[in-house]
Structure 1
Amino acid sequence: MNLFEPAAGLRNAHLQTILPRIMRRKILFRPVTERLMTPDDDFLDLAWTADPARHPSGQPVLILFHGLEGSLHSPYAHSLLFAAKAQGWLGVIMHFRGCSGEINRQARSYHSGETSDAAFFIRHVRERFPGHPLLAVGVSLGGNMLVNYLAETGAQSELTAAQVISPPLDLAACSARIEQGFSRVYQRYLLGSMKRNMLKKIAALPDTLPFQPAQISGIRSLRQFDDTVTAPLHGFSNAADYYQRCSGLGKLAWVETPLRIIHAADDPFMTKAVIPTAPLPAHIDYHLTQYGGHVGFISGSWRAPAFWLDHTVPAWFQTRLNPCA
């Protein structure tokens, strides 16, 4: 696996973060959509890279968990799924509740430590593909969530191997960082999407949610959103309690599945607090690059950009699938 080297002229963290969203808009496969009903009478919307009923016996299945307010249409998501398809694998994204374009039915939603939907979906995939290696990628929020899942399941995890990309492993530090400097642009974008979706949900479930539209409209930061919405909806005392209980950094020692963590030191969503300082077990591969931004990692050149994640993620999984190759 080659090391990441940013494209000439693209060492700036914000260019690395923003340009992939501009360069990779088109989905390069025809997704096969499916709705999976949950035990609490809600739903998870899936998008597969091909008809799952025709997937060759024994070939891997790659599960992708997207980031905050992400979806199949997030460039990193469909690009990584297409990279899996190019390997002959079946790829699938599980949209978190409310992220597929339709408001979910229950008051609860998703957050960085909410693992029950992921666990339910992974068990579903394992039952559907009993003889296939299961691989998982979690991006940003989905990465921290995946670390929580791996820590909770330990040796009982259904996954063969996993990778997490730009995970906010210290939620409090990342919440503070995104309120500083140019990173406030990202906060404004994400918060705008979160508020719009919550206002739609209040309108759709007026007797279920304990919020007033004016409360949501007045929120000015991600931390305030977590204090006002995320924490009370999901059983936390406040944002600080949520951040402390759901940050993945302190749970890495409980992970038993082979895991790779990819961080960039210049990530504008992160601080050094997300970087593990305690020794990690041999089955956790920590990969810290100097450059790359947040889920960026553009190499190549301006004229011919290359998306390093699309190459390095399948390559690392291949080393776990074929350790003697």
Structure 2
Amino acid sequence: MPILEPTYKPPFWAKKSFVSTVFSGLVRKVSGVEQTRERITLPDNDFLDLDWSYAEKKSNKIIILLHGLEGHAQRPYITGTAKLFNDNGIDAIGVNFRGCSGEPNVLYRSYHSGATEDLDSVVKHVLTKNQYNEIYIKGISLGANMVLKYVGEGNELPKEVKAVIAVSVPCDLKGSCDELLSFKNKHYAIRFLQHLKDKLKPKILQFPNNISAADLNTIKTLIDFDHIYTSKAHGFTDAYDYYDKASSLQFLPNIKVPSLIINALNDSFLSPDCFPIKEAKENPNLFLEMPKYGGHVGFISKKNIYYNELRALEFVN
């Protein structure tokens, strides 16, 4: 499919990647979304918390929203999309990945970029409602990689899954990790790592045979974290094996449902391979849009409705 021509024009003050990224992550607020939490039990007896919000009238359409690294379903990039879709007659679920809803999950494992089994459980749960005949899925950052992997792995998808949207997607995980560890992103990497390590501390007490305080103290970078925890807890050999097997880039040629990728050219988290131009040109179901600006999930626009949110609504319509 030809590369889509973006129409995004940010405010003059939001053209720098750092400004748009930080404003969107730390300053933006979204009000007017009423969420109702539901806990579902997963096949391995762990749990996921789902935050539902509804259109004014009963809807047969729903969008499943997936957050990024160390996010949750109350982040404005989730609630902003939920509000826009609810206002346009579509229900929404903000998924909190394992351990991200304010309560530690049960198992030693948690979540990662390629954990499509959990997304599959959410889709199947939605289908038990016997109400929805159109399911859309939108992922942000880590969640964007997950949804592209989900629709490209080759498993038979429910016919109700009609389209997906992936925003600021690190589809080459190794390349993206290298970018995060570069000097320009040092402040982001430190913040992510501190959150991840803080969340790992209770697991030392809960699972002393799996990890120790000494192990935690050896974690100095995000790659260390993935070597010591992410890979071992989720069945990978090491961090590089995890990056290799969980990256969605390799699955893009197999995608058979309409899928929109929106990656800003000035997103400092993304490596060159995170702009899959060749794959988009060769797959009629894959649409790639590369705005000049937007940083990482920072597509600031008018009336507190972000460009990527409007494009998601246009795409599913």
Aligned partner of 1:322 in structure 2 is: none
In the alignment, is the contact (CA less than 8 A) between 1:27 and 1:73 conserved in 2?
no
AA aligned to 2:22 is I
Other-structure match for 2:17: 13
Alignment of 1:66-77 (within 5 A): 66-77=67-78
The corresponding residue for 1:307 is: 306
Q: Offset of 1:202 from its aligned partner?
A: 2.3
Give me the whole-angstrom Cα distance separating, in 2, the residues matched to 1:289 and 1:57.
Answer: 32
Q: Is the 8 A contact 2:6 2:290 kept in 1?
A: no
Secondary structure class of the residue paired with 2:183: coil
In 1, distance between residues paired with 2:41 and 2:172? 32
Equivalent residues of 2:50, 2:95 under 8 A apart: yes
SS of residue in 1 equivalent to 2:166: strand
Listed as ranges, the gaps of 5+ residues in structure 1 are 319-325
Distance 1:166 1:66 in 2: 11
Q: Which residue of 1 aligns with 2:221?
A: 221
Q: How many residues align?
A: 310
**Quick one: distance in 1 between partners of 2:182 and 2:81?**
30
Question: Could you tell me whether the CA contact under 8 Å between 1:155 and 1:256 is conserved in 2?
Answer: no
Q: In structure 1, what is the Cα distance between the partners aligned to 2:186 and 2:105?
A: 28
Distance 1:189 1:28 in 2: 29
Q: Partner of 1:94: helix, strand, or coil?
A: strand
Shift of residue 154 of structure 1?
A: 4.9
- Deviation of 1:7 after TM superposition, in Å, equals 1.0
2: CA distance, partners of 1:230 / 1:224: 9
For the Cα contact (< 8 Å) 2:266–2:293, is it kept in 1?
yes
Q: What is the aligned counterpart of 1:50 among 39, 43, 54? A: 54
Alignment of 1:192-207 (within 5 A): 192-203=194-205, 205-207=206-208
The one-letter code sitting in structure 2 at the alignment partner of 1:22 is: L
Q: Distance in 2 between matches of 1:250 and 1:149?
A: 12
Whole-Å separation in 2 of the counterparts to 1:57 and 1:180: 45
- In structure 2, how many angstroms separate the alpha carbons of the residues matched to 1:306 and 1:230? 34
Letter in 2 for 1:222: L
Does the aligned pair in 2 maintain the 1:134–1:161 contact within 8 Å? yes
Taking a change above 3 Å as real, the CA distance of residues 131 and 306 of structure 1, as seen in their structure-2 partners, is closer
Matches within 5 A, 1:86-97: 86-97=87-98
Distance 1:305 1:200 in 2: 37
> Is contact 2:54–2:90 with CA below 8 Å preserved after alignment?
no
Find the aligned partners of 2:101 and 2:304 in 1 and give their Cα distance: 29
- Identity of counterpart residues, as a percentage? 30
In structure 2, do the counterparts of structure 1 residues 277 and 29 end up closer, same or farther at CA, with 3 Å as the change threshold? closer
Q: Which amino acid aligns with 2:88?
A: Q
RMSD: 1.9
TM-score, normalised to structure 2, is 0.92
